[in-house]
A and B are shown apart, each in its own frame.
Chain A
Amino acid sequence: VKPKKERTFVIAAVEFHRVETPFLIGLWIFFASLAKIGFHMVPKFSKMFPESCLLIFVGVLIGALLLSTHSVHVQPLTPDTFFLYMLPPIILDAGYFMPNRLFFDHLGTILLFAVVGTVFNTLTIGASLWACGLTGIFGCTTPLLDMLLFGALISAVDPVAVLAVFEEIHVNEVLYIVVFGESLLNDAVTVVLYHMFEAYTEMGTSRLMYTDFLAGFASFLVVAVGGTCIGVVWGFATGLVTRFTNEVRVIEPIFIFVMAYLAYLNAEMFHMSGILAITFCGITMKNYVEANISHKSHTTIKYTMKMLSSSSETIIFMFLGVATVNNNHVWNTWFVLLTIVFCSVFRIIGVYIFSAVANKFRLHKLNTVEKFVMSYGGLRGAVAFALVLLIDPEVVKLQPMFVTTTIAVIYFTVFIQGITIKPLVKILNVKTVEKRKPTMNERIHERFMDHLMAGVEDILGKHGNHHMRDKFKRFDNRFIRPFLLRNYQGAEPKILETYSKLAMRDAIEYMQRNASTI
């Protein structure tokens, strides 16, 4: 724009600065979505590669373009944007549409893998890398604590990557819920281990006392239980608020999103597990919200949630690609190779050990094929990347190498494992499922069986799953539902819900078939 001497009225001018940030955000979302449409137009590609791979690939292309044009180097995937804006929609979607029944039935196994399994992986990966470092193979000093810190962030299975891959292959529900539940619940462990080792590195090895380890264990309980409680409280609050929205239907979806987000921020504020908070907020609120809000609001919530989470996911993978292309890589072949080997090997060992333990207590025993898919489905993703970026390079001198290695591990799991898992599932003949709504018969007879089994457990004097569920349902029906629901209709809301859904579908079909006669 050339400067004008006389001050005349400017008809048109370019003022990029003012709109720069929102415009760039808009462009990112636009291109990410365009890329997504692109893949689905080429069925050959989308059959062969999982979407996440293609998105990373596009991200790399864009990153290379930006780098070669020497445009201002942007680093769009910062830990803050990731944890505050991109992760919550995905986790809320996962929590809200979580098959509750399945989740709680397998909670024991999920917790075993998420808590003990993640600690096991962290310690073994960290210690093995450290041990290899002693031989001088990496060509640099590798303090034990730094390695454990790295182990903590690299050993967490990533909910985003797992969802992205598992949604496409439709494995059977037990496998799905175990791997996916693990990826959601291990957040608490990862957060604690990460902060713990970070603090330890800052303190230095010499000043560590055994009380610090006890404090670490206590903080795990606080982070996990605290996050869960915050989520549950916000979930109940959402139920309560929606009880009074019958006059202002248009703002119903707002409450669901804002209150879940507040739960997440609330937990993060106290350094508790935001992922656990928002997951449990979703799980809790769904039971009550769905009975209170209108059908249309429900549809809005469903589609908005799906849209937000899928676009977040798209952007995360694309940003991962973009972030790869920069000049600050510190490539250490041995370190990268050994990390990948240890990640895979200890994942497999961990899965075999812990599923052997779990099988002692499970009705449905995890078989060899399922164990294999579980160990193979342990994908690493953007959570690890965001965590590694959070490490202060001043304190941990190896941080640049960690970043490069993390990227390499993510690529390995997303590309190699992501691409091969689909054919593997086919070759191994893993049971797959299609999603569908229950029929009236299934709803009633399955509920009948639940009551029957609860009764049998009581006769045996055994306090199993059915007994606990029965107890909770009775409590829920007596003390919670009457307060949170506008039209409280007594026990077994699911039977009524299924009935009204089926009746509604019939009515719509009837209308469409006989449109001319009406």
Chain B
Amino acid sequence: MGNKSSLLLREEEIAQIQEETGFTPNQIERLYSRFTSLDKNDCGTLSREDFLRIPELAINPLSERIVHSFFAESHDDRVNFLQFMRVLAHFRPIRKKRENKLNSREEKLRFAFSMYDLDSDGKISRDELLAILHMMVGVNISEEQLTSIAERTILEADTNNDQMISFEEFCRALERTDVEQKMSIRFLN
């Protein structure tokens, strides 16, 4: 508080973000200072390069998709703070008192699903799944093995036999997973 970054954030902006995302003002200010420290050119928005400059993120196998998911809403190649916060709001832990449309179980799942579904046709195809598997598993495994893993995964989830995983099938396959826990982060106050 009181540092340079918090001065740049106007009160009504904080209120709007708070309203929309459910973050507390303290969390917003904290995240804003992180946002400005990522913003190397001081232009109030982040580019893909700004994200990929984070060393740990750059070696994350899914870095490209994660960064991509931040740009889903923006039409140009920059994210402003509000868009940044909207994406992060998906990872807020679910509390009974503070319901919010962005961090419900379904929204969390939808967020994960859209990261698979690159062409946004509402279905995960075999190739989309394979692409993710390639990123996660690495190069030491034979192509056939990966293909059969992908096929098996689709077969398991696919209930309407279209060889794809729709969002409903995706949710059903993760019915017993504690998504509320797995996709939540404790944001510091």
Residues on A lying within 8 angstroms of B by beta carbon are 361-364, 439-442, 444-462, 464, 467, 470-471, 474, 488-492, 495-496, 499, 502-503
Contacts and interface: CB of A to CB of B under 8 A. Distances in A.
11 contacts: A444-B136, A444-B153, A451-B60, A452-B112, A452-B115, A456-B91, A458-B60, A462-B185, A490-B138, A490-B140, A491-B61
A2 to B, nearest CB: 73
Interface string B158-183: 00000000000010011011010111
B157 interface: yes
Given A445-B173, A448-B132, A459-B57, 17 more contacts: A441-B157, A444-B129, A444-B132, A445-B177, A449-B179, A451-B62, A452-B183, A455-B60, A457-B185, A458-B57, A461-B54, A470-B60, A490-B138, A490-B139, A491-B137, A495-B133, A499-B152
A321 B148 CA distance: 56
A309 B35 CA distance: 53
Contacts of B188: 462
Nearest to A442: B177
B10 interface: no
Interface residues of B, number: 50
B173 A439 contact: yes
B156 A460 contact: no
Contacts of A452: 62, 66, 112, 115, 183
Interface in B68-127: 88, 91, 93, 112, 115-116
A299 B3 CA distance: 60
Contact of B34 (A442, A461, A488, A499): A461
Contacts of A450: 182
Majority SS at the chain A contact face: helix
B149 interface: yes
A361 B56 CA distance: 23
A444 B155 CA distance: 14
Nearest to B176: A442
Given A364-B181, A464-B186, A441 B156 contact: yes
Given A439-B173, A448-B132, A490 B182 contact: no
Contacts of A492: 136-138
Contact of B183 (A453, A464, A474): A453
Contacts of B43: none
Contacts of A457: 185
A88 B181 CA distance: 34
A464 B149 contact: no
Of B60, B91, B148, the most chain A CB neighbours within 10 A belong to: B60
Nearest to B112: A449
A468 B149 CA distance: 28
Contacts of A442: 173-174, 176-177
A447 B177 CA distance: 12
A363 B185 CA distance: 7
Given A442-B174, A474-B59, A489-B141, A459 B186 contact: no
